[in-house]
C-alpha cells in the first residue's frame, strides 16, 4: 500500500463501537496505531490506510472478535481467513460472494447478507436482528 492511501474516518465507527463506553481504552488503541483520537468527531477526515489496517488488526486481537463485537455470537479469530479460503475455488465472483455470505451466516446470529444481481450490477443487502439500535444503524453511516 502507498503512503498516500487513506480511508475515511467514519469507517472506523463500526470497528470502535465496542470501546465507546471505555474512552481511555479507545484513546489508547487509536494512539497505538498512530490515529489522532480527535478524528472520531470528524467523519469526513482521512486516516492513512496503514494506520487503519493496523487498527483493524489490533482491535480483532484486543476484542477477540473479527466482527468487532457487533454480533451477539461474534466471529472467532481465524474465521475470516477460513471463509476466504473457501472462496478461492469458486468459478465466478457471483458464486464466491454467495458462498461468502452463506459462510458468514454460519458464524453470525444478528446479521445476514443477501446478494442481488441485476444485469451488470450487484447489491449486497444487510439485514439485522440485533436488539441494539446503535448496532442496527452502523450500516447506514
Q: Has residue 26 been placed in a domain?
A: yes
| Containing structural domain, residue 17 | 6-63
DSSP conformational letter for 61: H
Q: Has residue 72 been placed in a domain?
A: no
* Domain count along the chain: 2
Q: Has residue 96 been placed in a domain?
A: yes
Please give the model's pTM, rounded to 2 decimal places: 0.82
**Side-chain-facing half-sphere of 45: CA atoms under 13 Å:** 15
How confident is the model over 9-29, as a mean pLDDT? 93
For residue 20, give the C-alpha cell: 465507546
Q: Residue 136 — pLDDT band, cuts 50, 70, 90?
A: low
31-75 pLDDT, tens digit per residue, is 999 999 999 888 899 999 999 999 999 999 999 999 999 999 999
User: In this structure, are 11 and 54 located in the same domain?
Assistant: yes
83-107 pLDDT, tens digit per residue, is 999 999 999 999 999 999 999 999 9
Amino acid at each position: 500500500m502507498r503512503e498516500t492511501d487513506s480511508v475515511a474516518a467514519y469507517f472506523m465507527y463500526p470497528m470502535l463501537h465496542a470501546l465507546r463506553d471505555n474512552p481511555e481504552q479507545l484513546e489508547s488503541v487509536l494512539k497505538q496505531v498512530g490515529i489522532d483520537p480527535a478524528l472520531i468527531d470528524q467523519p469526513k477526515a482521512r486516516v492513512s490506510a496503514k494506520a487503519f489496517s493496523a487498527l483493524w488488526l489490533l482491535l480483532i486481537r484486543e476484542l477477540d472478535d473479527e466482527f468487532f463485537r457487533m454480533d451477539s455470537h461474534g466471529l472467532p479469530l481465524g474465521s475470516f481467513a477460513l471463509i476466504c479460503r473457501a472462496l478461492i475455488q469458486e468459478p465466478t465472483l457471483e458464486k464466491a460472494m454467495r458462498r461468502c455470505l452463506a459462510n458468514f451466516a454460519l458464524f453470525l446470529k444478528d446479521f445476514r447478507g443477501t446478494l442481488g444481481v441485476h444485469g451488470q450490477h450487484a447489491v449486497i443487502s444487510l439485514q439485522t436482528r440485533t436488539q441494539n439500535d446503535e448496532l442496527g444503524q452502523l450500516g447506514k453511516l
